[in-house]
Amino acid sequence: MHNMNRVQMLDFRERGDDRGHLVIVEGNIDIPFEIKRVFYIYGSDADVVRGQHANRISEFVLINVAGKSKVKVKDGEGNEAIFCLNRPHTGIYIPNMVWKDMYDFSKDSVLLCLASTHYDPYEYIRDYDDFIRIINEVNITQ
């Protein structure tokens, strides 16, 4: 089974009261990995496409804590799916070896990214043809 089948939307616990909202995301409880890294993306124009990579090792959860964006995931075998991130208590889980494009950022978009690894540029696959080649190699050896 390709990892793209494991991509899923996650609904996080919300503790709202008259003081406002509080959303809880705990590693290995609300998401399927221990959080090693947090980064966030904001100030991207509507016509910008970010991501455009797959990761050999890293798993991610992406949450639009403000505003909206879209994520397109691809398995390198012709299948793709599009997810809308538009709620602060909802995220998308993206396992390793899944191609991802983030786009359609609203002006107020703040995209919070939780990662299972520390940053290592060498585990990023930034060329789509390389990604297809590596996916095919994995399929042959399985």
Note the residues at the interface with ligand TYD (CB under 6 A).
37, 39, 41, 50-51, 119
The smaller minimum CB distance to ligand TYD, of residues 23 and 62, is found at 62
The smaller minimum CB distance to ligand TYD, of residues 22 and 82, is found at 82
137 vs 18: CA distance, rounded Å? 54
Q: Is residue 128 classed exposed, middle or buried when 0-12, 13-18 and 19+ CB atoms within 10 A define those classes?
A: middle
The smaller minimum CB distance to ligand TYD, of residues 120 and 137, is found at 120
Give the nearest distance from C-beta 107 to ligand TYD in angstroms.
Answer: 17
Both tokens of 64, joined, read 């639009």
Residue with tokens 């208590």: 89
Does 89 participate in catalysis according to the annotation? no
Provide the annotated active-site residues. 53
